[in-house]
Structure 1
């Protein structure tokens, strides 16, 4: 009641529908109403943390602080209190793409005005929930948000253009930095919490490791996908590869686009605006050069990058989002070591990692069990053998739900949801039982 429209409400109801099978997320797994049952499942699994998102549109229906929906604020208070009562640490995400439509009507993240509205939302959240929430994620996968929502237009809000994508990245970064400094200045002295960002990561492996051009291109790809957001937050500036990235993108359109610049004060505000390094990681691709004129619809095409996979890699089922999903656990280890080497071994929170499957695969999801077993094993290796400072791991996701442009045709959950049942019955899968044993032992049984 009282929720404002978000960009995803608008996006999924477009005609023609951009979502597989024309489905919407209007109800989805309905965790909003069934959170008590979901917390009970978390307790049964022995989960130590639970990351959830605050819906900006629920709390501030217009996106502004002109009206606060206190009934929805109470919902999050109840959830947080219930988690703590069950010895589960709450981790709150401020922005997981649930962006208020009224602010989209003035340009969304392309409009500098939105920065102050986000900081106001962050201030309200810190003030209201920060006495119990001590770990905060300002933005979830802002690189994916800006790439797919503003540059390519395949996800909400469905904008398409280099300048839109570029300005989205710039304003999201400034919003994060201002929110971080707000917490640092006003709330940290008595709340003693931590603030970071979760950045989407994907490992890019040179197809021919003996070919210098393949090696250079793979390194370039990681610097763009990861470093475009991480470099400003760590070092106060965009990576050197950013200018080349924009030049290659704009050449195809016959235009010229150069990086936006941070002022000295903005760079100072950004530099070091992290208490932990949050990552979301799923898969790996092989990289080799290709003709930039080739276009299969991905960002890599105009960059002269061809992505592929090894025929021996499991997985890889295509989805409507055109994301080939491959099970490559050693790529996870390489990605974590890459961050250690180039970013000074920061404390890493792995806050998304999971396996893409289909509802018809049923409850005996052996492939998902093997995915989590192999990826967690590689993560333990980087901690115990490589000395990487990984401090937290969270599996994505607890429940089957609405996934991007794929709707309900794919799932990541370790708990099945019956979407044909109005009550959205939950049933733990084999993978849930596996993770329960991992959580009980804080790793694999000895």
Structure 2
């Protein structure tokens, strides 16, 4: 089981991947890869002791050095880039953070290691998935009973609190306890894993499991208390949508402004001493004239925001009526526009909103695209990545959710005058060389990518080749290869340092 902004116990499950899965990850456990078993103030774990006990590990191996990941963050990040994963799950060593398992001493050097690792992941646009406990209990706690001692519940809660306080602003995917069955039964029943207890098989596993469950719950509550599910923020998100899309769509599709919008503005207007709402009212004749004046829903979409409740007091302003602030997640990929963050998953969500709110209308996506700034680079992998992921989300909305999408238009054909930002922000498939009086249109790499999607009416499956007409287009510009076989060498893939997947 896994979730995003909450905690859960991980149990081994057989999972069938479907097109709903947008997370591709890889996992590594602290003791198995970190090494540095006594470095920078780290305490001993039960697995350190177990591995140093004769005949417990094959060929008397141990994790003293392991893969030396403690000193090889750069190398490990490069390996993840090669795999092209968009998430990385790793565990935290409890004794590296709290050498004796308690809050008596917090080892800042240990915390700094995980900060460096998380920062490097985020810089590579790989989102961390962090496991609090993967079997390496501080030996000092085992010396007083470990998971069989009821006090372990509060100890784990305190440990989780320290980690959440330190890393919580960077990590949004947490796992409390990895494979609790193995901790309880293999470690305390069969004794073939640390701490190697096998002489109370009828009682110890049940006591351990009981405390694991309670410890998980305490950690969950610690996190949830710090990051509560706020209905007011959910309501704020709905106000943002209703005050933007709904402002114009609701009258056309449903006959009037939404009740939410009307009630808020009326109440705030009367509270300010006005005799009536600042929002004009449609007459019954106007409602009849306006409602149903649509053949389809035309939708321009570029990005997504996170909303939160915000009280503007008595200010008479659209933003105050909306009563919401908006922010972007720091992990979302930037663009050439300050307001545009690459957030493909939001596209599918808002398309489903339109379907449910406005009676499942035919939808034409009339604008969708991403900008760049700075020196021109015709190898615009950033744009290719954007279109791949946004079109994929539209396909999910169409194929999986039943959204009636009839068409898709990319913004835009060529780099142009982007209103107040002039020519600084470049959204085009074609670069216009404005230093040449003839203003030639020069294709970027995204031209061929988008042309292939159009010509093949979707994405090419592995082993398939683009249709011949795409090759003809490429010939016009004199850069077609001799073979029409689809080839995707590593260097032509998007740079994962700039990748944002969901």
TM-score (normalised: structure 2): 0.43
Which has more strand, going by share of residues? 1
TM-score, normalising length from structure 1?
A: 0.48
Which of structures 1 and 2 has the bigger CA Rg? 2
